């Protein structure tokens, strides 16, 4: 349960994005959010991280 003053939404997705960045992935685009590490890419689509 989130605190009463918490305004953010999709906290699980935000946590997942933070984990990708912590593991060395780079955010290369914001619409849609796209990560890259080496030759691998992942995108966020409909709230899920998929290969891209």
Distance CA 33, CA 26 (A): 10
Q: What global pTM score does this model have?
A: 0.75
The confidence score (pLDDT) of residue 2 equals 63
4 Cβ neighbours under 8 A, 6+ residues apart: none
- CA distances (Å), origin 32, targets 1, 6, 9, 22, 25: 28, 24, 17, 20, 15
* 4-49 residue pLDDT tens: 777 878 889 999 999 999 999 999 999 999 999 999 999 999 989 9
Distance CA 31, CA 29 (A): 6
3-state secondary structure of 39: coil
């Amino acid at each position: 349960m989130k605190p009463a003053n918490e305004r953010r939404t999709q906290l699980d997705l935000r946590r997942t994005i933070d984990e990708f960045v912590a593991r060395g992935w780079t955010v290369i685009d914001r619409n849609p959010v796209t990560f890259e590490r080496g030759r691998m890419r992942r995108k966020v689509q409909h709230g899920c991280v998929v290969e891209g």
